[in-house]
Structure 1
Amino acid sequence: MATDLSKVGERERLKAQREPHWQRLRAGCFLGFRPSKRGGAGSWIARVYDEDSGKYRVKSLGDFGALAGNARFSAAKKEAEAVAELVEAGGEIRAKIETVADACRAYAASRPEAEARFVRYIYSDSLAKVKLDRLRRRHLAEWRKQLEKKPSLVSRRKEGEPKVRARAPSTVNRDMAVLRAALAKVLSPGAPNSEAAWQEALKSIPNANGRRTLYLDRGQRRTLLEQVDAEAAPFVRALCLLPLRPGAMAALTAGDFDKRTQELTIGKDKTGKPRRIRLPSDGAKLLSKQAAGKLPSAPLFMRSNGKAWNKESWKLPIAEAVAAAGLPREATAYTLRHSTITDLVSAGLPLLTIAQISGTSAEMIERHYGHLASDAAVKALAKLAL
């Protein structure tokens, strides 16, 4: 028997579940109702078939809790039909941004790293459900307090307890920065020194950005490559040749490399904006070999199981190679990026060019590597001395 959502009594008898209870309004247009597990008004959803894409479009309509129970169906039906008219006319459904979680999802739509942070620290927190028009400084202050107490995961072990450490101020700043950016897209700053000043609870911890001081020279990197296992060797060699973030390198596909022009497109990175770089001959040869015989969508650096590398899979082979090579045990995949950038700055390459290649800002390069640029200038002047 078809569900009749217009009857209050029948709605109250429906089981609370993830999938809404649907009622067909007309061909290609459905109205759904999801009962509240906590005894609330429940929520209404529109589902409309889009002939252009061949897919159903879904939009949340809210709970209509301000209306009497017998009036909610009519209001929800009217909204669903309006959505259907929009889709059928070729319009685009835009999700309502009502809560902190909504703002985060909208911001992270093209920013994978931001989405990963939101998954870890926002979506499962009570802050996610706070309405944006009711967001206050105390909500974010409480969230920040919990974040600062949360330990950082150093490594996941197959056996025993995971290895953790206290969360560093610089890590707290990075986690807060993405939330601050997401909220700034949809909220104006509140009046200073008031509860409405949500932005004040997310101020960065001053002087928290410590330098990555561990540097591996070219000889040490060659020794590392000699010790790393054959499966990880191409990936680690690429990290030694190009100043990319390990995650961005791992996300590359065969189609991202143009053998004819020797150009590489980096699409998945911290900035969220694709960029193209021209490769030196050694890098081009390595990537040509990795791309050979692969479909454009295949991982450029593929593991033996056919999957791309990730943080958990590259840790062990690099750690084992570091130990075998007798290098400082603190050396990681990110150390290789830092070392490559250090070499570029020391060689006198313009800081803006290095920033563009490595996918960061000239300000960050200046902040962390500016002293090396000064050293390079001193050496250049010394060569001019009579």
Structure 2
Amino acid sequence: MARTVRNAKIDTRSARLKLTERREPYWTPISAGCYIGYRRGAKGGTWIARFRDDDGKHHYDALGAADDARDADGLTVYSFAQAQERARAFFAKTAQELAGDYEPSVGPYTVAMALDAYFADREQRGSKGLAKDRAAARARIRPELGEVELAKVTTKRIRDWQSVLATAPKLSRAPRVGKAGVSRPIDTNDAEAVRARRSSANRTLTVLKASLNHAFHGGRVASDDAWRKVKPFREADAPIVHFLSDDECRRIVNASDGAFRNIVKGALLTGCRYGELTRMRASDFNADAGTITVRESKSGKPRHVALTDEGRALFTELTAASTGRNLVFVRDDGKAWGPSHQQRPLDAASDRAKIEPPATFHILRHSYASALAQRGVPMGVIAAQLGHSDTRMTEKHYAHLSPNYVADTVRAALPALGIVEKSNVKALTPRA
């Protein structure tokens, strides 16, 4: 947000009341060629914006009423700070129009239009995660806010939408193509279920605010004050990391059928995402170096994943009779794995292996990283293997699993107090 300019003569309502009524506004420079003016009238004041182009011509815009008689609401009555935000939007829009870089919309500019423009810009820049964000907007933003004009978006309206979203039933994937998705209400007494819905609401709020910011910076709306005041739910995004033990990893592999077993093995031995595995080709495996190359990752940057002897043996077996362009992981019929082919066979394997909650490919990825962390592998190495840009995300999820200096020092230094009696009772391990 740009810095708010100060002017003691018009900053406050009481200061403006001391000014003489006149037609010519009291001008305050915002930046080179950009001014905001206050016109003092008999029934209160109004704000005016003035823009000087490269030819010296002046362009004006009536911003709205000043908060002389009524409190500022950001819609029809504006404080000096709010008027500056509207003026900056006018300056940007006018500069774009003069440069031939502005496309006026027909009728009011709505939230739906802002979403369309935002997604189109992301698609042009090759942004990742676009399909998922579009789906979230289609299901959660457009029905409630899509037809709302940007100039009429208020903080209260967004907060009300956010509160409803945090308690909305979770949408489930349709059981078959052509069927509508069903919803599952959340258990409000389940703290983890509430946290998960709030986390989802935070992600959707991020999409909404990003689209509105895109519209604001494009001069489509005068102020970003309404959504800038809306904050995400706190402590909703705490990492809840589920991972499989070594025994559960072996059980899920043994319970997987046919060619699906290979891709489960690949996930556990590389930490790669499902999409990264399904796109992997024989030429991506370097048998001499014992590495695989992930050419298209979530971050958009390629990475090299080091393999253990077991991982090298798996990829050697799967690429033995392949040409460089052949996919490493294919279905039993030789066709490629699709984007939604993984969860049902993994649910079935989890059920047979008695694993609860059912494993997902993200849990397989967590299992790989957690196994490394528990064996003292540095966070930087784990981050490189997973394709994280730095160690912040890695530390957030896995640092608590790693042997650390503090825990080792406490256990070595604290004396045994003898206050817990030794017992001969052995804990029973539940049978799988």
Q: Fold match, TM over 0.5? A: yes
TM-superposed deviation, 1:209: 1.6
Quick check: 1:189–1:199 contact (8 Å CA) kept in 2? no
- Given that residues 299 and 308 in structure 1 are in contact (C-alpha distance below 8 angstroms), is that contact kept between their aligned partners in structure 2? yes
- Structure 2 equivalent of residue 157 of structure 1: 175
Residue 114 of structure 1: how far off its partner (Å): 2.9
- CA separation of 1:269 and 1:125: change in aligned 2, threshold 3 A: farther
Q: Distance in 2 between matches of 1:298 and 1:135?
A: 54
With over 3 angstroms needed to count, the CA separation of the structure-2 counterparts of 1:331 and 1:112, relative to structure 1, is: same
User: What SS is found at the alignment partner of 1:118?
Assistant: helix
Superposed CA deviations along residues 327-384 of structure 1, whole A, max 9, x for unmatched, are: 2243322222112211111111111221221133422222222222245874599899
CA offset at residue 207 of structure 1? 0.5
1:240-274 deviation digits (Å, cap 9, x = unpaired): 11222333333434443344443333244432333
Is the alpha carbon distance of 1:121 and 1:307 closer, same or farther for their aligned partners in structure 2, counting shifts above 3 Å?
Answer: farther
Q: Shift in Å at residue 218 of structure 1?
A: 0.8
Asked if 1:368 corresponds to 2:397, the answer is yes
1:296–1:331 distance in 2 versus 1, CA, 3 Å: same
Match in the other structure for 2:252 = 224
Indicate how the Cα distance of structure 1 residues 330 and 131 shifts in structure 2: closer, same or farther if over 3 A, else same: same
Using the aligned pairs only, state the percent identity: 22
Question: Please, which of 102, 106, 126 is the counterpart of residue 121 of structure 2?
Answer: 106
Match of 1:242 among 253, 259, 270: 270
* 1:89-115 Cα shifts (integer Å, max 9, x gaps): xxxxxxxxx843222232244234233
The aligned counterpart of 2:133 is 117
Q: Secondary structure at the match of 1:168?
A: helix
SS at match of 2:340: helix
AA of the residue aligned to 1:117: D
**Whole-Å separation in 1 of the counterparts to 2:289 and 2:149:** 50
Q: Who wins on radius of gyration, i.e. which is larger?
A: 2
SS at match of 2:299: coil
Indicate whether 1:169 and 2:198 are aligned.
yes
Would you say the 8 A contact 1:342–1:369 is kept in 2? yes
Q: Which residue of 2 aligns with 1:323?
A: 351
Structure 1 regions of 5+ residues with no counterpart?
1-59, 67-97
**What is the DSSP-based 3-state SS (H/G/I as helix, E as strand, rest coil) of the residue aligned with 1:312?**
coil
What's the RMSD between the two structures over aligned residues? Answer: 4.3
Aligned-partner Cα distance in 1 for 2:200–2:330: 30
**Conserved in 1, the CA contact under 8 Å of 2:209 and 2:227?**
yes
SS in structure 2 of the partner of residue 276 of structure 1: strand
1:33-72 deviations in Å (ceiling 9; x for gaps): xxxxxxxxxxxxxxxxxxxxxxxxxxx9968979xxxxxx
Deviations 1:171-190 (A, max 9, x none): 22233445555666775599
- Secondary structure at the counterpart of residue 265 of structure 1: strand
Partner of 2:369: 341
Instruction: Structure 2 unaligned segments of length 5 or more: list them.
Output: 1-100, 108-112, 187-195, 414-432
C-alpha distance in 2 between matches for 1:273 and 1:135: 40
Structure 1 distance, partners of 2:353, 2:360, is 13
Cα shift at 1:141: 5.6
* d(CA) in 2 for partners of 1:207, 1:189: 33
Give 1:105's aligned amino acid.
A
Distance 1:350 1:295, change over 3 A: same
Counterpart mapping for 1:58-207 below 5 A: 99-108=114-123, 109-122=125-138, 125=142, 136=153, 144=162, 147-148=165-166, 151-158=169-176, 162=182, 164=184, 166=186, 168-178=197-207, 180=209, 196-197=224-225, 199-200=227-228, 203-207=231-235
Flag the 1:226–1:113 CA change in 2: closer, same or farther, 3 A: same
Structure 1 residues 103, 351: CA separation in 2 closer, same or farther (over 3 Å shift)?
A: same
Q: What residue number does 1:28 align with?
A: none
TM-score w.r.t. the length of structure 1 is: 0.60
Q: Do the aligned residues in 2 keep the contact of 1:136 with 1:197 (CA within 8 Å)?
A: no
State how many pairs are aligned.
Answer: 291
C-alpha displacement of 1:130: 8.4
Task: Determine the C-alpha separation between the residues in 2 that align with 1:61 and 1:185.
Answer: 14
How far residue 208 of structure 1 moved from its aligned partner, in angstroms, is 0.8
Mapped to 2, the partners of 1:297 and 1:180 lie a distance apart of 42
